[in-house]
């Protein structure tokens, strides 16, 4: 095969690209990334309550000759999905029920919305690729030895409803419905699974480091690596998976190169943002506590939500290693913002927010 032909993007710069969740943390960055790559026909879809400030930023791109179509709507509406996908060659699907805590809400806003988009694409018959933005949350990580590699070949949760995490449940089922439509109707798709996406705009300390629900920050990560990806690096990878030929049906993990341990991250956070009390909980103890919590939930027939269980422990706090070898080899991604710089920007934003509070 001619390598020049193989490396050519699957769409031309003037073809229409749809980005759902366009005013979200990653969505607006992705639109800017695509514009910088020379794509001039971008449709930005967001909920009616989408962040106005981000709309203004996206509108400013039009000054550089980029045609930005700003569309408000609801992906639960088949009519809105038909309008959003009309004449679209490439879809980046970032919209999801991220904040929903109930299983029905998460399912509706991640799975049903995805189905509606795909059904609309089947009617228009012009789609060249559907990029589904999933998450590391789908991986089970059970049955593996401590420190084992978590890569794209690892299994996802067979029973995500048992983890006590509505987001995991929704994302697993979102991936399933896309696979099903791919097999039955030939929908061309790629799934990306970012790790922990961080940066200005998403300033919370990830639960992989610990939890602060009990009046004291419980440090659960210890020497675990945190699968961070700085937001600019993440959207760069997402953009590339939509454009690269020959990767339909594949899954790509997105993590940066030089991953900090939980202990190092927490130490840097306290030094560069603010000091607070924390208590390190060894892995054996946290596992035991999750086991006891799980058993009490069963015994009490749900008096407490099953938030801390062994499935969640394996997913978040079990010692695990990560890599981005497939992303590099198959897509040609390279990390542009070094981890040291990404953490610096993140800590500066955290400190500014803390000082203004």
pLDDT of 4: 44
In total, the chain counts a number of residues equal to: 357
Would you say residue 101 lies in a domain?
A: yes
Residues 187, 118 contacting (CB under 8 angstroms): yes
Structural domains of the chain, count: 1
Q: What CATH number corresponds to the domain at position 336?
A: 3.40.50.720
What is the SS3 assignment for 197? strand
Structure confidence by residue, pLDDT tens digits, 241-277 = 999 999 999 999 999 999 999 999 999 999 999 999 9
Closest CA to 57 of 87, 46, 199: 46
Whether 281 is covered by a domain: the verdict is no
Q: Residue 29: helix, strand or coil by DSSP?
A: helix
Residue at 211 is within a domain = no
Q: Is residue 269 part of a domain?
A: no
Q: Smallest Cα–Cα separation from 176: which of 105, 255, 98, 118?
A: 118
Instruction: Give the pLDDT band (50/70/90) at residue 168.
Output: very high
**What pLDDT score was predicted for residue 2?**
41
Q: What does the pLDDT read at residue 65?
A: 75
> Can you tell me the mean pLDDT for 196-224?
92
Q: Where in the sequence is the domain holding 189, given as residue range(s)?
A: 3-204+228-256+321-346
What is the percent of the chain where pLDDT is above 90? 76
Is residue 295 one of the residues assigned to a domain? no
**Residue 169 falls within a domain, yes or no?**
yes
How do residues 26-85 score in pLDDT, each as one tens digit? 999 999 999 999 999 999 998 877 565 566 666 666 666 788 898 999 999 999 999 999
CA–CA separation, 40 and 34 (whole Å): 8
Let me know if residue 170 belongs to a domain.
yes
Q: Is 209 helix (H, G, I), strand (E, B) or coil?
A: coil
Is residue 213 classed exposed, middle or buried when 0-12, 13-18 and 19+ CB atoms within 10 A define those classes? exposed
The answer to whether position 217 is within a domain reads no
């Amino acid at each position: 095969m001619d390598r020049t032909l193989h490396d050519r993007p699957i769409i031309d710069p003037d073809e229409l690209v749809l980005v759902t969740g366009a005013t979200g943390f990653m969505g607006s960055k992705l639109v800017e990334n695509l514009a910088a790559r020379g794509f001039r026909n971008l449709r930005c879809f967001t909920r009616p309550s989408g962040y106005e400030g981000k709309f203004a930023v996206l509108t400013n791109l039009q000054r550089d000759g980029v045609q930005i179509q700003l569309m408000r709507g609801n992906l639960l509406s088949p009519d809105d999905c038909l309008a959003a996908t009309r004449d679209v060659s490439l879809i980046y699907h970032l919209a999801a029920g991220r904040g929903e805590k109930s299983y029905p809400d998460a399912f509706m806003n991640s799975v049903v919305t995805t189905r509606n988009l795909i059904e609309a694409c089947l009617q228009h018959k012009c789609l060249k690729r559907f990029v589904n933005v999933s998450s590391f949350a789908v991986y089970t990580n059970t049955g593996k030895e401590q420190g084992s590699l978590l890569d794209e070949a690892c299994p996802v949760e067979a029973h995500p409803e048992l983890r006590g995490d509505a987001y995991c449940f929704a994302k697993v089922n979102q991936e399933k419905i896309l696979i099903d439509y791919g097999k039955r109707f030939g929908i061309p798709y790629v799934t990306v699974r970012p790790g922990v996406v961080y940066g200005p705009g998403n300033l919370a300390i990830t639960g992989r480091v610990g939890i602060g629900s009990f009046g004291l920050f419980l440090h659960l990560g210890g020497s675990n690596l945190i699968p961070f990806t700085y937001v600019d690096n993440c959207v760069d990878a997402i953009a590339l998976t939509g454009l690269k030929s020959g990767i339909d049906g594949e899954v790509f993990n997105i993590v940066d190169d030089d991953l900090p341990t939980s202990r190092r991250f927490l130490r840097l956070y306290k030094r560069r943002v603010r000091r607070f009390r924390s208590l390190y909980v060894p892995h054996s103890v946290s596992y035991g506590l999750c086991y006891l919590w799980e058993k009490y939930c069963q015994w009490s027939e749900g008096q407490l939500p099953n938030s801390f269980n062994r499935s969640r422990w394996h997913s978040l706090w079990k010692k695990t290693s990560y890599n981005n070898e497939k992303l590099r080899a198959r897509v040609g991604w390279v990390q542009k913002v070094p981890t040291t710089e990404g953490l610096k920007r993140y800590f500066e934003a955290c400190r500014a927010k803390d000082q203004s509070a």
